[in-house]
């Protein structure tokens, strides 16, 4: 099978590329390298292209036809919530425009299978503790809106020309499947805490007066290698030709961990003796966000294998292996 992975040189995409290569699939990575790096996708063909740029539809369709692509996995997107609030036009151009180009190229090249990186951000501030896929979607920022619109675009393409698609709604992705594939960004909790500790500064906790057992926010942490495996399960499901029972799936564990829990595990892993500093709440943080994994378990036969200790240990190990990071 020949799989086109857009944004495959990034954090999550590179994990999926490695799993695909390990099982012998042919992989073509399309990435503009604005964020990802070529060394993360050794063994795959790499085509440097902005999927949201002019001429992308023709370039992508030609590539799909030339390589006999059977499915696309679409990671290519911008992912910073704050930036999406400041630059909504650019986020729509990149995330929605890039996906529109990809879908038009697929239609032209008759490639009818697509896996899309969606996000728990489509739920916004849900009124329930554990989120099912079918609750009302109310994203609270342009980033989350682009993900929800992406799901609508694929549903419309299914109706119009028979696209088979899966939208995977990731919860809090962390850890590293291999030391050379750690998260390059410092946007999520674990890398943010490690960065503060490596600089000899106390990690910050935003709000300890939420209605949760220890007062800090609760999130559903998913190991990036488990998340990558969910893409393989989804790919096999699309390729099976089975009638699709559902298109969107939470990729979570159904279990939450508090910010305090996570911070103390990171402090322990790094051997630091600094205590976290409590700051005021940040706007727009729901007290609790946990994904019900029942649907993905039942239909895609996927289940998380790693726990929070594995996540923290692997994130720390990749941090220490990364020459660009300040080490402990």
Residues classed as catalytic: 143
Q: For residue 110, how many other CB atoms are within 10 A of its CB?
A: 12
> According to the binding rule CB under 6 A, does residue 13 interact with ligand NAD?
yes
**173 contacts ligand NAD (rule: CB under 6 A):** yes
Residue 258 β-bridge partners: 218
User: Would you give the binding string for ligand NAD spanning residues 187-206, x where CB under 6 A is met?
Assistant: -x------------------
Q: Is 289 in the site for ligand NAD (CB under 6 A)?
A: no
Report the C-alpha gap between 88 and 202 in whole angstroms: 33
User: In the Cβ-directed half-sphere of 313, how many Cα atoms lie within 13 Å?
Assistant: 5
Query: Do 256 and 133 meet the contact criterion of CB atoms below 8 Å apart?
Result: no
Q: What is the CB neighbour count within 10 angstroms for residue 94?
A: 23
Running DSSP on this structure, what letter comes out for residue 43? Answer: T
Asked if residue 77 binds ligand NAD (CB under 6 A), the reply is yes
- Residues numbered 107 to 136 that lie near ligand NAD (CB under 6 A) are 117, 119
Q: Does residue 178 touch ligand NAD according to CB under 6 A?
A: no
- Dist CA 117 CA 51 (whole Å): 15
Largest CA distance in the chain: 58
Could you tell me the smallest distance in angstroms from the CB atom of residue 113 to ligand NAD?
Answer: 18
Instruction: Please identify, using beta-carbon distances, which residue of 94 and 292 lies nearer to ligand NAD.
Output: 94
User: What is the rounded CA–CA span in Å between residue 177 and residue 209?
Assistant: 34
Q: How far is the CB of 123 from ligand NAD (least distance, A)?
A: 12
Contact call for residue 35 and ligand NAD (CB under 6 A): yes
Q: How far apart are CA 147 and CA 98, in angstroms?
A: 12
Q: Which of 20, 44, 52, 296 binds ligand NAD (CB under 6 A)?
A: 52
The first and second tokens of residue 267, run together, are 């402090």
Asked if residue 51 binds ligand NAD (CB under 6 A), the reply is yes
Q: Based on the shown chain and the rule CB under 6 A, indicate whether residue 11 belongs to the binding site for ligand NAD.
A: yes
Segment contacting ligand NAD by CB under 6 A, of 32-40, 130-138, 258-266, 269-277: 32-40
Judged by the rule CB under 6 A, the positions of this chain that interact with ligand NAD are 7, 9-13, 31-36, 50-52, 75-77, 79, 94, 98, 117, 119, 170, 173, 188
């Amino acid at each position: 099978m020949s799989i086109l992975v857009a944004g495959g040189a990034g954090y999550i995409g590179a994990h999926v590329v490695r799993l695909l290569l390990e099982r012998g699939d042919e992989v073509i990575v399309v990435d503009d390298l604005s964020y990802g790096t070529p060394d993360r996708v050794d063994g795959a063909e790499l085509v440097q292209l902005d999927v949201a740029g002019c001429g992308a539809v023709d370039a992508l369709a030609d590539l799909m036809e030339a390589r006999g692509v059977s499915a696309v996995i679409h990671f290519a997107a911008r992912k910073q919530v704050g930036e999406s609030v400041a630059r909504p036009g650019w986020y729509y151009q990149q995330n929605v425009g890039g996906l529109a180009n990809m879908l038009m190229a697929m239609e032209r090249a008759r490639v009818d299978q697509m896996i899309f990186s969606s996000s728990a951000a489509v739920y916004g501030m849900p009124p329930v503790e554990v989120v099912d896929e079918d609750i009302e979607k109310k994203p609270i920022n342009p980033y989350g809106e682009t993900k929800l619109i992406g799901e609508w675009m694929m549903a419309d393409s299914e109706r119009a020309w028979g696209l088979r698609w899966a939208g995977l709604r990731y919860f809090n992705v962390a850890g590293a499947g291999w030391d050379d594939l750690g998260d390059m960004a410092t946007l999520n909790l674990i890398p943010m805490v490690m960065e503060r500790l490596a600089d000899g500064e106390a990690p910050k906790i935003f709000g300890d007066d939420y209605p949760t057992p220890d007062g800090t926010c609760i999130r559903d942490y998913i190991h990036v290698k488990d998340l990558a495996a969910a893409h393989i399960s989804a790919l096999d499901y699309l390729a099976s030709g089975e009638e699709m029972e559902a298109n969107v799936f939470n990729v979570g564990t159904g279990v939450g961990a508090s910010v305090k829990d996570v911070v103390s595990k990171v402090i322990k892993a790094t051997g630091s003796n600094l205590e976290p500093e409590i700051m005021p709440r940040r706007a727009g943080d729901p007290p609790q966000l946990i994904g019900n994994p029942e649907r993905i378990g039942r239909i895609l036969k996927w289940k998380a294998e790693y726990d929070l200790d594995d996540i923290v240990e692997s994130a720390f190990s990749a941090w220490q292996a990364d020459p660009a990071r300040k080490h402990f």
